[in-house]
A and B are shown apart, each in its own frame.
Chain A
Amino acid sequence: MKLKYDVTVIGGGPAGLAAAIEAKKGDCSVLILERNEELGGILNQCIHPGFGLQYFKEELTGPEYAERFINKVNEMNIDVLLNTMVINISKDRAITAVNDKGLLKIESGAVILAMGCRERTRGAIMIPGARPAGVFMAGQAQRYINMENQKIGNKAVILGSGDIGLIMARRLTLEGIEVVGVFELMPYPNGLLRNIKQCLEDFNIPLYLSTTVTRIIGKDRIEGVVVSRVDEKLNPIEGTEERIDCDTLLLSVGLIPENELSLKAGVELNTRTNGPLVDNDLQTNIPGIFACGNVLHVHDLVDHVSREGELAGQKAVEFIKNKKERGNEIILKCGKNLVYTVPKYITNTIDNLVNVYFRVSRPMNNGCLTIKSSKGLIFKGKPENFRPNKMVKFNLPPKIISKVSEELYIDVEEGI
């Protein structure tokens, strides 16, 4: 079947929903392609509260948050194809997808990538030991419990203090599954502070920092793990090994933007984050292909995802009218304490503030945001505390942008 739309959004999670709504407001024909049987993405399995405090100024569960956007999509009569998997995107924005009716070819004026992210696996972090059943990624376990109604074990160890791991520590406890503890390789927790408090401290679940799983034991089903303390270089310290019996190990060790499809279209990725390199319009190097949400960079809060999706939707509409390609008048370069910035490129023909998001690579107390051009320091922020677990957003005012022509160095520095 052949279809033609102004804007095609790949992914019907929070980013894709927000993008589609904005694109529709711009009087475009819009199609959402969703691989699952319902819209909402990962929010559907996030049955805990804490969503929407910024966007809606009230506290919602994941499904409630999703529902508000889904209702809007329905009210606006935005076309949606469910159970539909995109298998290819070309440079000229031709999408190939399949569902159980057949193969679809969709021509698109603009494409918005909103496929989200996946969980880092055991293989990616190379945990030594046996390969029994009972080792799950935290989000996978969340799916089994919240969506499939399946019990995944009786006694769990959680490796990694990412937000999903923390949420699942509480969830398992509430469901009567014993959580022995959460073990974190780094000397600081990885998830949001509020989740440390509400999911661990309130339930007396211990968090062990600078500790990691160094061996998985069990031939058929996991029978236990060995945990070890690690030194400053994150290497296990000999003699600190301790065996813990458990029948379940959950991994909450990071999320990775899922861009295998983007690569097929020739989209350039940041090798550190696996997210596309975009400008302040969220446009990738491929004209008319935009990215938003966790496929671009992993967010802490869905509220930011929705805002980013909206921007992508608006800019996709503009692209259809003006065909402007990714701007690269200014390149944002990361200093040594930054992991990445989104955007990477800035067009200097702008009139609005540019929102820049970044993460620091290590915790810093009293760090100052610095912005430098080749001529020297042009901005220094007030001292604040920075943590890798918190995405930072700041506004780059036009008056700064107008001063530089090529590169801006963004960093957080201590003691300056």
Chain B
Amino acid sequence: MLKFDVVIIGGGITGTAIARELSKFDLKAALLEANMDIASGTTKGNGGVIHSGYDPNPSTMKAKVNCKGALMYPKLAKELGFEYKNTGSMVVGFEDKDTEVLNKLYENGKKNGVPGLRIIERDEIFKIEPRVNRAAKYALYAPTAGIADPFEVAIAFAENASENDVKIYRNQKVVGITKNDEFFNITTQNREYQARFIVNAAGVYGDYIAKLVGIEDYEIKPRFGELLVMDKAIGFELNTVLFPLPGNRTKGIVVIPTVHGNIIVGSTARMTEDKEDISVTKEGIEELLNGAKHLVPDIEKRFLIRQFAGLRPVETNTNDFVIEASKKVKGFINAIGIQSPGVASAPAIAEMVRDILSNEGLDLKEKKSFNPYRTPILDFSELTDEEKDELIRKKPSYGRVICRCETVTEGEILSAINRPVGAVTVDGVKRRTRAGMGRCQGGFCQHRIVSILSRELGIPKDEVLLENEKSKLIFGKMKGQEESRE
């Protein structure tokens, strides 16, 4: 039996942000992730916008954490070494009557405390972003918005938490929770954990986890959304995040620069029942392309490299974040329904959960040894020629380029595997290093990554997984028993 003060269930951006926050204190904490890797649910399936916070209704929980969380990003990015860009964002209006909606958002944003919001007109719009449709007339400009790869942020949180002694356990599906006067007993498919407090950050399964302790008050349904990734070869980068006027319950089709120079278009929005299905549809792809071209006419279909989808956990009773201690079950804290703007909000949610835990009786004593800094995986392609040469001479593995599209070396892949909460799957390597994320989509490098994972993890190649537990890539040797070539 593994005993902890706090067990966090769910290793998405919410759970990992909480884990990192708790790692600042003298307590025993663990995080359980159901999948083979952290950041592989909702966190990997979204556009990566750090929303500034003008959107949520001021009375909501979203409003309480969104703006605050967004403003925490610049410092976090420095401490944790993840890529973050303060791009700002624009909601673009094309007609005079659109100013009405823009003004409403502006007023809303002011109430939420979003700094620097302004309504701007043509000249300034095109100065900030020359690629916007020339028919644009007005925009709400939010200078504090930004972009990050949400999975990179979550991985950074988890690694730093782990280095500060929070235990991160993956492939741990919670199947049962019981409680006596003092402790929760948490059962996974093959282990048991004991905890005084549970933080439920289980994404689309947040209601399922709550039900395991007898809380029936929540219903989480996924809002399915598709996204597109464009090749960098499209030949231009965007300076800022572009929104159309918002739809009824969503923010519409948004055009988003990424920290690595790609463009993401997303997302569609459709409520579903299935908590696993992330199949993209033809209609969705068309809707996205049309929406993107409306904002940025230069976006062309032929530069598409990938389509993907994500599920946002929507708490159907409130359509709001639920961040609260259960009144029914003492010691059980929910951080569920974290749909958009979850990425922006995560750092503030973590602080809020910390305070709730403290109120519920968790003793928070600052840990002297806490190290807020994480050394990221070195990005070989960003080094100068002299630095590259010097590095290779010290570590020859950095001279072996594995992923040619994104120039990712063996050295980077080894670092991704052999670090705290390291990569154990092909997609895990991809999310940490970008290997396989480029235009050939792993066509040239996947077999080499399989070989490296097999060697480093000490498992046969046919046990190397793409992503999920049963996502085998290869079925053993074609012929013979001899070890195949690297």
Contact = CB atoms under 8 A, between A and B. Distances in A.
Contacts of A377: none
Given A126-B304, A154-B475, A260-B233, 20 more contacts: A83-B400, A98-B388, A98-B409, A99-B400, A101-B393, A121-B305, A126-B285, A128-B282, A129-B279, A130-B279, A132-B471, A133-B473, A148-B484, A149-B479, A149-B480, A151-B477, A215-B279, A220-B468, A221-B472, A260-B439
Interface string A201-225: 0000000000000111101110000
A72 B447 CA distance: 30
Given A87-B401, A132-B471, A123 B285 contact: no
B399 A133 contact: no
Interface stretch (B99-107, B142-150, B170-178, B458-466): B458-466
Which of A100, A154, A214 gathers most chain B CB within 10 Å? A100
B1 interface: no
A150 interface: yes
B470 interface: yes
B156 to A, nearest CB: 24
B478 interface: yes
Interface in B233-291: 233, 276-282, 284-285
Nearest to B226: A128
Contact of B461 (A131, A150, A220): A150
A152 interface: yes
B75 interface: no
A217 B404 CA distance: 30
Contact of B396 (A101, A144, A216): A101
Contacts of A35: 401, 404
A348 interface: no
Interface in B285-313: 285, 302, 304-308
Nearest to B384: A103
B108 interface: no
A96 interface: yes
A133 B449 CA distance: 14
Interface of A: 35, 83, 85, 87, 96, 98-103, 105, 118-119, 121-124, 126, 128-134, 137, 139-140, 143-145, 147-154, 175, 214-217, 219-221, 236, 260, 263
Given A123-B306, A128-B279, A100 B400 contact: yes
Nearest to A145: B478
A181 B334 CA distance: 50
Given A101-B392, A121-B443, A87 B407 contact: yes
Contact of B468 (A85, A143, A219): A219
Contacts of A215: 279
A336 to B, nearest CB: 20
A144 B447 contact: yes
Contacts of A134: 472-473
5 contacts: A35-B401, A140-B446, A147-B485, A148-B461, A217-B279
Contact of B278 (A96, A122, A130): A130
B440 interface: yes
A150 B478 contact: yes
Nearest to A134: B473
A241 to B, nearest CB: 12
B397 interface: yes
Contacts of B442: 140
A98 B385 CA distance: 10
Closest 6 CB pairs of A and B: A220-B470, A100-B399, A100-B396, A133-B466, A103-B389, A85-B401
A102 B399 contact: yes
A101 B484 CA distance: 26
Nearest to B462: A150
Given A102-B389, A123-B441, A128 B475 contact: no
Given A87-B401, A103-B385, A128-B279, A121 B441 contact: yes
B116 interface: no
Contacts of B308: 131
A143 B484 CA distance: 12
A128 B399 contact: no
A149 B486 CA distance: 10
Which of B280, B281, B442 lies at the interface centre, i.e. has the most chain A CB atoms within 10 A of its CB?
B280
B472 A133 contact: yes
A348 to B, nearest CB: 33
Interface in B71-120: none
Given A85-B404, A126-B282, A149-B484, A133 B304 contact: no
A178 to B, nearest CB: 13
B475 A151 contact: yes
B285 A128 contact: yes
B282 A137 contact: no
Contacts of A153: 475
Contact of A221 (B276, B302, B471): B471
Contacts of B440: 118-119, 121
Interface string B430-447: 000000000111111011
A216 B392 contact: no
B399 A151 contact: no
Nearest to A140: B443
B397 to A, nearest CB: 7
B304 A148 contact: no
B397 A100 contact: yes
A188 to B, nearest CB: 23
Interface in B323-354: none
Contacts of B307: 123, 126, 128
A96 B380 CA distance: 14
A128 B280 contact: yes
Contacts of A137: 443
Given A118-B440, A121-B441, A149-B480, A98 B280 contact: no
Contact of B276 (A99, A140, A219): A219
A175 B392 CA distance: 41
A102 B281 CA distance: 46
Contacts of B443: 118-119, 121, 137, 139-140
A177 B480 CA distance: 16
Contacts of A216: 279
B401 A98 contact: yes
B305 A123 contact: yes
Contact of A144 (B284, B306, B474): B474
A402 B260 CA distance: 50
Contacts of A103: 385, 388-389, 392, 399
B372 to A, nearest CB: 34
B469 interface: yes
Contacts of A119: 440, 443
Nearest to A151: B475
Given A103-B392, A133-B467, A150 B306 contact: no
B229 interface: yes
Given A100-B397, A137-B443, A149 B285 contact: no
